[in-house]
Structure 1
Amino acid sequence: MASAVEQATAFKNDGNKAFAAHDWPKAIELYTKAIELNDKEPTYYTNRAQAHIKSEAFGYAIADATKAIELNPKLIKAYFRRAVSYAAILKPKDAVKDFKKCVELDPANKDAKLKLAECQKIVRQLNFYAAIEVGDEPSAAEGLDIDSIVVEPDYDGVELKDQMTQEFIDDMIERFKNGKKIHKKYVYQIVIAVKNIVYEEATMVEMKIPDDVKLTVCGDTHGQYFDLMELFRLNGRPSEKHWYLFNGDFVDRGSWSSEIALLLYAYKWLRPHGMYLNRGNHETDDMNKVYGFQGECKAKYNERVFKLFSESFSALPLATLIGSKYLVLHGGLFSDDSVTLDDIRKVDRHAQRQPGQSGLMMEMLWTDPQKAPGRSPNKRGVGIQFGPDVTKKFCEKNGLDAIIRSHEVRMDGYEEEHDGKCITVFSAPKYCDQTENRGAYINIGPDYKLSFNQFDAVPHPPIKPMAYANNSLMSMM
């Protein structure tokens, strides 16, 4: 019979195979089995840390890398992976310390030197922004005379006047498919119009599904435009009788984020009461500056377009209540059992704008479910995790059937947890071209029954995810 050490090695090898197949949950499970049999081998922790990085469980990755460093203080890979994780959760000062250690241990390590320089640059930028920060910046729309902007005669797209039209949307969809942009005048019109619409909506939009309407709830799309087109092909495009709710994270990572944001906004302008948009943790300035959306706006349009989007993101509702049965929000539940739907209604998102490091807005955008009862620190390194007992109490107190959330990859595109009271839906299949997950969406009719639908990724033009990201740090994830 094989010894515990030999069995651990076998589990590690199987974990490597699962990792190579981009099945991160399976890899984590196998590395965990290896650690349970032999908890003194640091490479098991660094391997699991890398699988956690791929799963965006950066808090867990930091813990694993730290354990590996305790076992072997000279293990460069452990410092490197911990630094990457710190960078991912926007803690560049901590990342700088670990990248410095990598360079100290291996002065010839070009990758560590490059990433150290990039992190140091980010720290300088953050210090600069903090030094010049002013309270109430004027709107990016101030001084923008849209009427005076001329659309050149050779522009070959449909004209947009004072109101959105289906004809314009149909033309825009085809332009985006063919790698074309829309005129910046029309971008300004769309983003400003939608900012004004969503600003007037409640922090928690409350809606009912009419007798002749179907509602589709979608999770993260993350700039995967061609996969969104596949979802629409299979399920039907938004229309008067087919409403959609997109539950945050429209942008970042995927390299067609501006296309998705503009398309969803155009539908919102056309049918304000048939297209619902919740804010996600990636509809925030700090994430957009690192994960690609700011860079994409600047590359395809200009900095002003990003600033207008930023203002519109901070005006988005944080949740949607469907028929008093389902609370749809991007992240999840709260660190305090006393929170009610009334507390969500009272959140002044216009005063706060960005979610910050604590409070209801941050938790609505960032938290995740866990299998164990109670609460624990989040695997991401931001916010908390909440157990089935927390979900049950919240649903009972607020008269809900379930919460519907997104925010996390699910290999099947969706998952029902916490006795069916916590449902995750994720609509970016083959996420970042790296994870072999399916996408999913949920159809809900006037009877309020849930119908889960899965779909697969489709080919896209040869532009990689994160093509517009601030730095190559993110290429490690």
Structure 2
Amino acid sequence: MSAEEYKTKGNQAFSAKEYEKAIEFFSKAIDVDPSNHVLYSNRSASYSSLKQYDKALEDANKTVELKSDWAKGYSRKGAALHGLGKLKEARETYEEGLKVDPNNAQLKKALEEIERADTGSQFKIFGDDALVRIAMNPKLRSYLDQPDFVEKIKAIQADPNQLQLHMQDNRVKEALMFLLTGAMNFPQEPQEPKETEKPTVPEPKTRDIPEPEPEPTEKSEDDLKKEEAIKEKNLGNEAYKKREFEKALQHYDKAWELDSTNASILTNKAGELSFTFII
């Protein structure tokens, strides 16, 4: 088969989201015609679809090397760098592509997405040093020996939207709480005390006497702080619904200052943050 025929089959597989099969066809096409920049570009897109960004970047670099005046090559390279979480390099790549094609809509849109992601980077919880910081925590360190946990952290680093997807994993939730607060230990969910069985003793018959009203008790300072924290959390939720993200963060931070034992505050904050820098 010719390179063009392999390429056609690769495109068909890609359209069907059969990315591994697409890679096979594009690779065969490259074997036939190794100087065709389009083939490397298409294979780069396939690798990116599988989140194999290292290989996607390698093919994108080859695309730019073969055809430095083709905007699509810079788009592929920027996407791979973005997937690897290298926002600065991705931005530089898109800017370089716009020098080649100043009116390229795809490059402009990609650059805008990078700018939004970079603006929210101050809120990025799982930064480039996340795994190093997790290794410093004696309780979390053992999770690094579990490949699925490491893969989830890397996925969140590459795409913050993945945080919401993996929040059901208690390991990720614990890592999130540590990275947000620096706390080495985590608040335990309150458990209902177990009731011990007592022998039933027949109560003496008495007249129906109304139960006395309990005397009001003064609330402790901790109770007052917890009530205030709940109010702040609710205000944060209301601000989030109105898409007032900065205001929501302020309320969540205030709630956490008042009550650092309420894990739901962190959960709300994490959810708000993950949507703040949608990319």
Give the alignment's TM-score, normalised by structure 2.
0.51
Contact kept? 1:15, 1:31, Cα under 8 Å: yes
| 1:70 is aligned to 2:58 | no
Q: 2:142 aligns with which of 203, 214, 222?
A: 203
Aligned partner of 2:233 in structure 1 is none
Q: 1:87 aligns with which of 65, 78, 82?
A: 82
| Structure 1 residue 203 displacement after superposition | 2.2
Cα–Cα, structure 1 residues 38 and 201, in superposed 2: closer, same or farther, change >3 Å? closer
Corresponding letter in the other structure for 2:76: R
CA distance in 1 between partners of 2:120 and 2:177 (Å): 26
Aligned partner of 2:151 in structure 1 is 281
**Between Structure 1 and Structure 2, whose CA radius of gyration is higher?**
2
Mapping 1:107-126, distance limit 5 Å: 107-126=102-121
Q: 1:44 aligns with which of 29, 39, 45?
A: 39
Mapping 1:23-422, distance limit 5 Å: 23-126=18-121, 128=122, 203=142, 248=148, 279-283=149-153, 287=156, 290-294=159-163, 312-313=174-175
Corresponding letter in the other structure for 1:203: S
Corresponding letter in the other structure for 2:156: M
Cα–Cα, structure 1 residues 38 and 84, in superposed 2: closer, same or farther, change >3 Å? same
Cα–Cα, structure 1 residues 113 and 312, in superposed 2: closer, same or farther, change >3 Å? same
CA distance in 1 between partners of 2:9 and 2:70 (Å): 23
Aligned partner of 1:431 in structure 2 is none
Cα–Cα, structure 1 residues 65 and 14, in superposed 2: closer, same or farther, change >3 Å? same
CA distance in 2 between partners of 1:31 and 1:60 (Å): 14
Aligned partner of 1:470 in structure 2 is 277
Aligned partner of 1:462 in structure 2 is none
| Structure 1 residue 15 displacement after superposition | 0.9
CA distance in 1 between partners of 2:60 and 2:21 (Å): 19
| Higher RCO (CA 8 Å, separation ≥ 6 residues) | 1
CA distance in 1 between partners of 2:277 and 2:113 (Å): 9
CA distance in 2 between partners of 1:280 and 1:469 (Å): 24
| Structure 1 residue 129 displacement after superposition | 6.3
| Structure 1 residue 469 displacement after superposition | 8.1
Secondary structure, aligned partner of 2:35: coil
Aligned partner of 2:262 in structure 1 is none
CA distance in 2 between partners of 1:86 and 1:95 (Å): 5
| Structure 1 residue 468 displacement after superposition | 4.8
| Structure 1 residue 78 displacement after superposition | 1.0
Cα–Cα, structure 1 residues 309 and 117, in superposed 2: closer, same or farther, change >3 Å? farther
Q: Deviations over 1:134-167 (max 9, x none)?
A: xxxxxxxxxxxxxxxxxxxxxxxxxxxxxxxxxx
Compare the two structures and name the one with the higher helix fraction.
Answer: 2
CA distance in 1 between partners of 2:158 and 2:2 (Å): 44
Secondary structure, aligned partner of 1:46: helix
Secondary structure, aligned partner of 2:152: coil
CA distance in 1 between partners of 2:172 and 2:140 (Å): 17
Give the alignment's TM-score, normalised by structure 1.
0.31
Aligned partner of 1:13 in structure 2 is 8
| Structure 1 residue 38 displacement after superposition | 0.7
Compare the two structures and name the one with the higher strand fraction.
Answer: 1
CA distance in 1 between partners of 2:82 and 2:30 (Å): 26
Structure 1: gaps spanning 5 or more residues: 1-5, 134-198, 205-245, 249-278, 298-304, 317-349, 352-466, 473-477
CA distance in 2 between partners of 1:96 and 1:59 (Å): 17
Q: Deviations over 1:146-199 (max 9, x none)?
A: xxxxxxxxxxxxxxxxxxxxxxxxxxxxxxxxxxxxxxxxxxxxxxxxxxxxx8
Aligned partner of 2:230 in structure 1 is none
Corresponding letter in the other structure for 1:76: A
Cα–Cα, structure 1 residues 32 and 294, in superposed 2: closer, same or farther, change >3 Å? closer
Secondary structure, aligned partner of 1:22: coil
CA distance in 2 between partners of 1:22 and 1:295 (Å): 24
Cα–Cα, structure 1 residues 59 and 202, in superposed 2: closer, same or farther, change >3 Å? closer
| Structure 1 residue 120 displacement after superposition | 3.0
Secondary structure, aligned partner of 1:282: helix
Cα–Cα, structure 1 residues 125 and 201, in superposed 2: closer, same or farther, change >3 Å? closer
| Structure 1 residue 115 displacement after superposition | 1.9
CA distance in 2 between partners of 1:119 and 1:89 (Å): 13
Number of equivalences: 174
Aligned partner of 2:203 in structure 1 is none
